[in-house]
Amino acid sequence: MKVFFSTLLCSVWVLLCQAQQTEPEWVKGQVHSKDERKALAGVTVKVLPSRDMGATGQDGSFMVRVNSLRDSLQISIVGYVTVTFVAAYVQKQGKIYLSKKMNYLEEAEVVNTGYESIQTKDLTGAVDVVTKEMLNQQTGLNILDRLNNITPSIRFDNKGIRNGDLQKLNFSVRGLSTINGNLDPLVVLDGFIYEGDIQNIDPNNVESISILKDAAASSIWGARAGNGVIIITSKKGSFQVNQKTKISLSNTFITKDKPDLKQLYEVPNKDFIDVEKMLFDKGYNDPILRFNPYIASTPAVNLFNNRKKGLISASDSAETMDWLLAQDGRQNYMDAFYKTPYSNQLSLNINGGSALNAYGFGVGYTTDLNHLDAKGKKLNIQLSNSFRPVERLQIDLNVQFTDQQSRSGKPEYSRFQYSGNVAPYVFFRDAVGEEIPFDIHYNTSYLNSKFPSPYQDWGYYPLSDYKQDIQYRKLNEWYATTSIRYKLFSFLSANASFQWQHQESNMEHYYGKESYYTRILINKYSTVNKTNGQVKYNVPVGDIRMLNRQSGNSYTARGQLDFNKETGRHRIRGIVGAEVRERTLEGFESSVYGYNKVPLTTIPVDHVTVFSITAPASAGGVIPGQPGLTKTNNRFVSLYSNWNEVFQDKYGLSASFRQDGANIFGANSNDRWSPLWSVGASWQLDKEDFFKANWVDNLKIRTTYGYSGNVDLRKTPYPIAQAGVDLNGTGYPILSIETLNDPSLRWEKVSTLNFGADFSILQNRISGSIDHYIKKGLDLYGLSNYDYTTWGASGTINKNVASMEGRGWDFTINTRNTIGQVAWSTRLLLGLNKNRTTAYYAAPFTGIRSFLGPSGDLYQPVVGRPLHGFSGYTWVGLNEEGMPQGLLNGEASTDYVALNQIGIDQPEGSESIRFVGSSKPQVFGNMINTLTWKGLELAANVSFKGDYYFYRPVTVYTSLFARGDAYPDFEQRWKQTGDEKRTNAPVMVYPHNGNRDTFYRNAAINILKADHLRLEYISLAWQKQSQMGYRKMNIRLFANVSNIGILWTVNKENLDPEFAYRLRPSKTYSIGIQIDY
């Protein structure tokens, strides 16, 4: 590591000391903001027709070479109106003033697709570009924190990820296009697919993000682009003569409110204990107390049992009960475990260049401490260098290094259950303040008396155990790209590039010998001689160290020809290329016992013998932690081409073709390859002679159609087997077939038809874009019936038998409401997206009853319905006995079995059961208002989600009795005749009626409209430019408050639809400073 840092510092020093290049004849000038009269750095100055380029420095100055003073200079920067002047005019005037565009998701002059950079005026596809200015309106430890709520096509999901194999990013671009395939958009970093953890990317080192949304934009990425493509471009230096080195230093401090557990409903102590007493008196707890007394019960149940057995007096019982009633479990936990969380981000960027060299160097260091004392730190280092040793040759090298380290903290609140039963009165100290064991799995007092020494203490001590139960994680990643570009002719370049990525994650779980886990494991596998009391510890007394190592390597080699030529009234641009890619993932895990750090020793254990376990109950088992190895290898080969032609600066055509091959599909060679293509057209309508609307500055219409793909890298044309050892007597190695194969399995395909328009009117006072799209997922993975008599494990198999369709709109509207000293701009983002399954053949998904209850968060592929939705039983109310009623044959009914059967017999719905609507927002968007005055900028972001429903959790007595789960309707339950007029919560009965509980849980009254407005963030920044020596320095101070909360919701219960009886994200506060020099 020291060598690495020394090499980096030496490289930076050499780059900074390079001589600046000068040329004899140049046009000089300065670029300033027209509104604020301040110098603009980073402005692109392009010479036409030669297309030589330069950029302004920190003081807004530039100098470019021209062949003649009659040449034109095109001057542009994101956020400002592009202008073009004759070079002689610029030479004479000296200063150029640019007017602001209040369009943060800017139609940037150049869009990076990963394979090439294309001028926006030449695009036919749908692309959103997010600039660093807009990213900086938000703060966060990773780039996704800053991407949320600022684009019309991206929707983040506030529900947890259900399947970590298929989804890691928890957001979608234009909704879903697959059912059982990979759900994540493709992430591309600096031109190559990024396979690492996106949290490794330093958000302070990101220059821009491009979101490729339709087929013309994304199909160039082929069989993994069906869910959209996120192109991330890092900050780099630029080629420019007499350019001063730019230094940017920033620091951001972030803190949060502690989570408020009072957002979680818990039954009042007295009511809860009354329920426990009722169940105890009726014998509900007898199976455990009589036959499995070692299993943990709640303190109240233990108290009832001890009093029943006469182990404690009535006065002692009453005293303990009073103490239980006084406990506030949520507050006890917060007092014992919570602390104020905070994070700090430090970032340094240095970049610059000359006519022959461009360089960049970045360092980011992040520290993080959460509310449970879990710690993390991250180091990011980036080095970029580009050389032009001769006029036609350019060599690029980019290296990024990430080092992340983390340490676990205190246990989560959800961990504190009594063998799966929650209670509102949890406590961690006794009446005199001493730490006591928490019966998380076992009845500690029972086991300590039945299995005393030489057994270890059976108790779990949460206030101290986390200090003996620690998980460490260290992750290192190298991401490097290099390319050589040679200009064969003025219109043709050849480019050879290579990418290498290595990521290694080392997880170490350390259990001290006094930890609960270690003590229980030692006890389970101990053998005690009942005659002499001697003990054999099959798991040694000592520490346990679990190791898990995952490493991944990816390689991409690419060869490409770039064509760019203007001839007459035609402008033609194209690429042709081929690439090969390989990704290898390897894993290793094992556990060592009797571990000592100094001296470094361990004690071997027997991982093969099935030991007879007598404590806490009779069983048999193998000591866990035997070594395990995994390895997967994916290889891809791709051929691709993309072409654009613009005629008369008005008419555009585009076409792309790509063919991907991979080793994971098709035992037949024809199935290994996936041809994908797109076509598109655009028309710059405002440039037509017949177009006479002078108030229209820009009007471009466009359309595209084509195919991209999707792939689940877990799929294979071959059967999957699990290697192991036969533990049933032979001890021979075995292969167990886990998954059957389909030799004809193919790639999923996604077709997209897009119609769009880009516009600007009234001297850019109003601008934006509108897109309408139709996406169809074809050959999707789906379960299909299989002759299970040939293989008994399953009656279904994955095949390319499913399909779905999505339709939607993207709207972006930017307005400059006021101009002058006080400038007010508004940005309106609106997305509409609806999907439905069009084909699926598995029997379980044959009707709307698949959407009953809280399962709307799970995908339910029912033909003709959205992939996520809710159905509900028709609700008629409670009868005079407090029993819930449905509608059966036109009458109120409590025949719950018949009501359930109706859902089976009439899968499309009936008077008894109906489909309510989508469980995912079908309309979503944001309104961002920004006020600027002198050096101050105030911005507020309000989000909207609508046209969807959420499930209101209700008390199901089956769950209350079994696990202690309940919700506020419990306090409103029916108790006496007449209550049916004021409540919909049924009477509590014992024994519980499972069919009745299921009907009530799945009733339509529990499905509420979810439309709501939320204040996402407010940001305030102050910026000032000052002179420091012979250079100018920009200072920016900023503050941000995010996760502010709900402003309005349509449901009358005033529940937060995204977090109904769940913990909401904590309000986050950030302050920081940025210095550009």
Going along the chain from its start, the domains and CATH numbers come out as: 2-100+239-252+343-407 (2.60.40.1120), 110-234 (2.170.130.10), 261-337+411-465 (no CATH), 930-944+1012-1050+1057-1076 (no CATH)
> Is the pLDDT higher at 1073 or at 664?
1073
Band of pLDDT at residue 1026, cut at 50, 70 and 90: confident
Tell me, what's the pLDDT at 1032?
79
Q: Is the pLDDT of residue 9 over 70?
A: no
Residue among 358, 141, 67, 139 at smallest CA distance from 239? 358
Residue type at 266 in one-letter notation: E
Question: Does the pLDDT value for residue 764 go beyond 80?
Answer: yes
**3-class DSSP assignment, residue 673:** strand
pLDDT above 70 (res 406): yes
Separation of alpha carbons 741 and 716, rounded Å: 7
**Of 619 and 500, more confident:** 500
pLDDT reported for residue 791: 58
Q: CA angle, 330 as apex, 326 and 331 as ends, to 5°? A: 70
Higher pLDDT, 42 or 64: 64
136-150, 223-237, 242-256, 779-793: lowest mean pLDDT where?
A: 779-793
What's residue 887's pLDDT? Answer: 96
Q: How far is CA 914 from the centre of its chain?
A: 33
Cα–Cα dist 865/868, whole Å: 8
Q: Quote the DSSP letter at residue 906.
A: -
* pLDDT, tens only, 1048-1071: 999 999 999 999 999 999 999 999
> In this predicted model, what pLDDT tens digit does every residue of 268-296 receive, in sequence order?
999 999 999 999 999 999 999 999 999 99
Highest-pLDDT range among 107-121, 315-329, 599-613, 793-807: 315-329
Of 17 and 1029, which is predicted with more confidence? 1029
Q: Which residue has the higher pLDDT, 222 or 696?
A: 696
Please provide residue 117's backbone torsions phi and psi, each rounded to the nearest 5 degrees.
-110, 130
pLDDT band at 663 (very low <50, low <70, confident <90, very high): confident
User: What would the mean pLDDT of 971-993 be, rounded to a whole number?
Assistant: 95
**Model pLDDT, residue 666:** 55
Checking if the pLDDT of 257 tops 80, the result is: yes
Task: Tokens for 223, please give them.
Answer: 């069989």
Calpha distance 1001→873 (Å, rounded) = 9
Instruction: Decide if 775 contacts 748 (C-beta within 8 A).
Output: no
- Asked whether the beta carbons of 697 and 761 are under 8 A apart, the reply is yes
306-342 tens-digit pLDDT: 999 999 999 999 999 999 999 999 999 999 999 999 9
Query: What pLDDT score was predicted for residue 668?
Result: 55
With 0-12 / 13-18 / 19 or more C-beta atoms within 10 angstroms meaning exposed / middle / buried, residue 790 is exposed
Which ranges constitute the DSSP H helices of 854-989? 896-905, 957-963
Judged against a pLDDT cut of 60, whether residue 145 lies above it is answered with yes
d(CA 1005, CA 875): 7
Give the per-residue pLDDT at 789.
Answer: 61
Between these two residues, 716 and 303, which has the higher pLDDT value? 303
Q: What is the bridge-based pairing of β-strands 95-98 and 27-33? A: parallel
In this structure, the number of other CB atoms found within 10 A of the CB of residue 28 comes to 12
Q: Which amino acid is at 605?
A: V
3-state secondary structure of 438: coil
Mean pLDDT of 855-876: 90
Q: Give the pLDDT score at 6.
A: 43
* C-alpha separations of 50 from 45, 46, 68, 241 in Å: 12, 9, 10, 17
Least confident of 109-118, 755-764, 786-795: 786-795
pLDDT tens digits, one per residue of 701-728: 999 999 998 887 777 767 777 777 776 6
Instruction: Kindly give the pairing relationship between strand 186-189 and strand 229-234.
Output: parallel
Q: Is the pLDDT of residue 22 over 70?
A: no
- Model confidence at 763, pLDDT cuts 50, 70, 90, reads confident
Band of the pLDDT at 42, cuts 50, 70, 90?
confident
CB 193 within 8 A of CB 135: no
Residue 757: pLDDT band with limits 50, 70, 90: very high
Res. 14: pLDDT tops 50: no
Q: Write out pLDDT tens, residues 433-480.
A: 999 999 999 999 999 999 998 999 999 999 999 999 999 999 999 999
Check residues 322 and 847 and name the one with the higher pLDDT. Answer: 322
pLDDT at 790: 63
Under the banding of pLDDT at 50, 70 and 90, the label for residue 203 is very high
pLDDT at 256: 96
Neighbouring CB atoms inside 10 A of 340's CB total: 11
Q: Please give the mean pLDDT across all residues of the chain.
A: 89
pLDDT, tens digit (0-9, with 9 covering 90-100), for 881-925: 999 999 999 999 999 999 999 988 898 889 999 999 999 999 999
| 1024 or 772, which is more confident | 772
Q: Which residues of 279-312 are buried (b: 16+ CB within 10 A; e: fewer)?
A: bbeeebbeebbeeebbbbbbbbbbbbbebeeeee
Output the 3-class SS for 337-360: HCCCCEEEEEEEEEEEECCCEEEE
Cα 687 to Cα 85, 365, 647, 651, 698, distances in angstroms: 19, 50, 12, 10, 8
Highest mean pLDDT (candidates 76-80, 130-134, 166-170, 560-564): 560-564
Say which residue the tokens 């909704």 belong to. 175
**CA–CA distance, 768 with 696 (Å, rounded to integer):** 12
| Region 680-687 average pLDDT | 94
C-alpha–C-alpha distance, residues 696 and 767, integer Å: 10
